[in-house]
Amino acid sequence: MKHILAIIKVLLFASSPLFAQQLQQCGSQGAVSADLIARALQLEAERGGGGEVRTLKLKVVIAATDNGQGGQALATQPSKVQAEIDVANEIFARCNTGIQIQLCGPIQVVEDAGFYWSGDMQSPTVQAAIEKGYITALYAYQLSGNIGGYVIGELIGISSFATPSTLRTRSGTYWA
């Protein structure tokens, strides 16, 4: 239940006119399925809404650090991020919200030890990855103070250790 409440809190902020927009393609590989959009529109119409899906444009930035073997260690896998978005969209459709999350652009990976180990978003590499006009989900390995997640304006911080965190959801499994 906590994960649904956290998502609802984010959505209440993010569904303001500044962020909620008509469905449009943002250049993402994993667009919202036509079936899910049709179901969300049907539910919106049944509750007397305007028949429009409000789309939250989401950019995702994943922290990485040197793994000591010439490669990168990622805070989370992009496939897990897409799975979390899919589960959230399914919940929003089932709950008749008229809201869907649209992943905009490719998921960015930023190699920055401070961002990876503590969620430090002040470094120039992290700041360069944040775009105004989008909600940005920043995935770090862990966050300062060992918190699961946070929302600051249009930024969402998510820890790999959160059970569940701001965007992370569970359906019988724990994603770490």
Asked whether residue 173 is domain-assigned, the answer is: no
pLDDT at 44: 66
Q: How would residue 18 be classed by pLDDT, with cut points 50, 70 and 90?
A: very low
Q: How would residue 124 be classed by pLDDT, with cut points 50, 70 and 90?
A: very high
Asked whether residue 117 is domain-assigned, the answer is: yes
Taking alpha carbons only, the member of 12, 140, 10 closest to residue 75 is 140
Over the stretch 128-152, which tens digit does the pLDDT of each residue have? 999 888 999 999 999 988 888 888 8
Count of structural domains within the chain: 1
pLDDT at 62: 96
Average pLDDT (86-111) is: 88
Collect all residues with Cβ–Cβ distance below 8 Å to 58 and sequence separation of at least 6. Answer: 85, 101, 102, 103, 104, 134, 135, 136, 137
Asked whether residue 175 is domain-assigned, the answer is: no
pLDDT at 8: 46
| Mean pLDDT, the chain, integer | 75
Q: What is the pTM of this model?
A: 0.68
Asked whether residue 168 is domain-assigned, the answer is: no
pLDDT at 51: 62
The alpha carbon dihedral of 100, 101, 105, 107 has a sign of negative
Q: How would residue 23 be classed by pLDDT, with cut points 50, 70 and 90?
A: very low
pLDDT at 99: 86
Is residue 98 scored above 90 in pLDDT? no
Tally the residues of the chain. 176
Q: 151 lies in which domain range?
A: 2-159
Tokens coding 81 = 């991020």
Q: Which amino acid is at 31?
A: A
pLDDT at 92: 85
Asked whether residue 70 is domain-assigned, the answer is: yes
Asked whether residue 36 is domain-assigned, the answer is: yes
Asked whether residue 176 is domain-assigned, the answer is: no
Name residue, tokens 């959230």.
88
Is residue 168 scored above 50 in pLDDT? no
Of 43-57, 88-102, 118-132, 155-169, least confident by mean pLDDT is 155-169
Phi and psi of 39, rounded to 5°? -65, -40
Asked whether residue 52 is domain-assigned, the answer is: yes
